[in-house]
Chain A
Amino acid sequence: MRIVLDENKCSSLGMCESVAPDFFEVGDDGALKLLNPTPPGGRRALMEEAVAACPTSALSIEE
């Protein structure tokens, strides 16, 4: 599984970081950093939660 970020949609609201701080971090410049773009399969539920938490639908999961 791979996490895909649409930078045009991301507005640095940080909900993904709030859900999964080991995988997402908003930097001081406002840019979202994917700390691990290919999470292990066992973290799927958490990744789905992070994707759903994004108010601007900027995240998606690719297989």
Chain B
Amino acid sequence: MSEGPVVVVGASLAGLRAVESARKTGYAGRLLLVGAEEHLPYDRPPLSKAFLDPGEDPAVPHHRTEEELRALDVELRLGVPATSLDTDAREIVLGGDEQLRYDRLVIATGARARQLPGEQLDGVHTLRTVEDARSIRRALDGGCRMVVVGGGFIGSEVASAARKRDVDVTILEAAPLPLVRAVGEQMAAACADLHARNGTELRCGVSVTGLEGEDCVEGVALSDGSILPADLVVVGIGADPVTDWLTDSGLQVEDGVVCDETLRAAPEVYAAGDVARWHNPLFGRMMRLEHWTSAAEQGAAAARNALAPAEATPYSTVPYFWSDWYSDKLQMVGITAADEVTVIGDLDDTRWLALYRQEDLLVGALALNMPGKIMKYRAMIGRGSAWQDALAFAGR
């Protein structure tokens, strides 16, 4: 067992689960949780969902109170970003000038929302932090002409929130269809159709060439030469793993911190959550996920493995994410790299299921408003179930 200190960098879900897991394994030494944001760990999925609902300003959706974290004897260093890592000296630097030695390190610095290039104008927001969500709430409360840049999950959820308030919203998507990487080409069209059903305009194949306005945004200039008037622009064009502080660390960084199947990046250094690219043995490939469940599970696994490397166990998972659009729930399990996608039900209906086949195996499932089925398919994917068995279970 380590003498410590154990340092966890990143105070969101993965980092929180890492410190909780460290204590659960019996580690009693010094334990630090470092976070760039000043907040206690809070839950991000609600920020693009219930947090934007009309009504009273909601509280920050903290995972734990400060007392609960103190009870775990966790030293909190919040509002201070880690700025560098020296794996030879086993030392990180906080805020550019404070050195902190570690015996074991868990990197859980997450991802940062991508911005549009150029100068930032008022009224233009990404959505990653609680401050971002509050700004968007305020703009929605004031009534506005809203444009969402990017037809991914964040953009679609924010558009849903706007429609709940009867705010007109246009989603701009640079690709011919949104969500192709997330759900595959065939199902992307069915998901996109949900916007039209709910009165949101989705314009595909058009990119943003600039923003109009002096201090505040007044419009969005498009690649077709037109200008779309807007006083609220939400940019949801993806997120990049926060690895800039690792440039001179000697760690392998390629769209995330590259880890083995036990989430180990280097001796005594492990990674978890959105920042980790690890080998998922279940699918035999490298993956970097930006999902709630994998962040939570990886955080716990990374700390456990960091503290007992000789008994380290691989982390494998069937990826799972969900998204709330209007009054609909989308749930996806597994992967979308498929030879065939079979739809069970009618895509014009309010509920349907799509199954993804690779060779003779079930590898993925996407469901609209079928919460009772999706986890059964997740279990089947985890077991390596045959395609024919999945079809039979679906009644085919």
Residue ranges of A at the interface with B (Cβ–Cβ < 8 Å): 11-15, 17-18, 21, 25-30, 52-53, 55
Contact = CB atoms under 8 A, between A and B. Distances in A.
Contacts of A30: 371-372
Interface string B40-51: 000101000000
Contact of B372 (A11, A15, A27, A52): A27
A15 B20 CA distance: 19
Given A29-B372, A30-B371, A18 B379 contact: yes
Interface in B351-375: 370-375
Task: Please list the 3 inter-chain residue pairs (A to B) with the smallest Cβ-Cβ separation, ordered nearest first.
Answer: A14-B375, A28-B372, A12-B371
Contacts of A15: 293, 320, 375
A54 to B, nearest CB: 10
A52 B16 CA distance: 12
B195 interface: no
Interface of B: 17, 43, 45, 292-293, 296-297, 300, 320, 322, 329, 331, 370-375, 378-379
B374 A14 contact: yes
Nearest to A28: B372
A17 B292 contact: no
A14 B370 CA distance: 11
B370 A21 contact: no
A18 B320 contact: yes
25 contacts: A11-B329, A12-B371, A13-B322, A13-B371, A14-B331, A14-B374, A14-B378, A15-B293, A18-B320, A18-B378, A26-B371, A26-B375, A27-B372, A28-B370, A28-B372, A28-B373, A29-B372, A52-B17, A52-B296, A52-B300, A53-B297, A55-B43, A55-B292, A55-B293, A55-B296
Contacts, number: 44
Nearest to B369: A30
Nearest to A32: B371
A18 B375 contact: yes
Contacts of B329: 11-12
B203 to A, nearest CB: 31
Contacts of B378: 14, 18
Given A12-B371, A18-B375, A52-B300, 15 more contacts: A12-B329, A12-B372, A14-B375, A14-B378, A18-B320, A18-B378, A21-B375, A28-B370, A28-B372, A28-B373, A30-B371, A52-B296, A53-B296, A55-B292, A55-B296
A28 to B, nearest CB: 4
A53 B373 CA distance: 18
B322 A26 contact: no
A12 B322 CA distance: 10
A17 B371 CA distance: 11
Nearest to A16: B375
A26 B372 contact: yes
Nearest to B372: A28
A31 B378 CA distance: 18
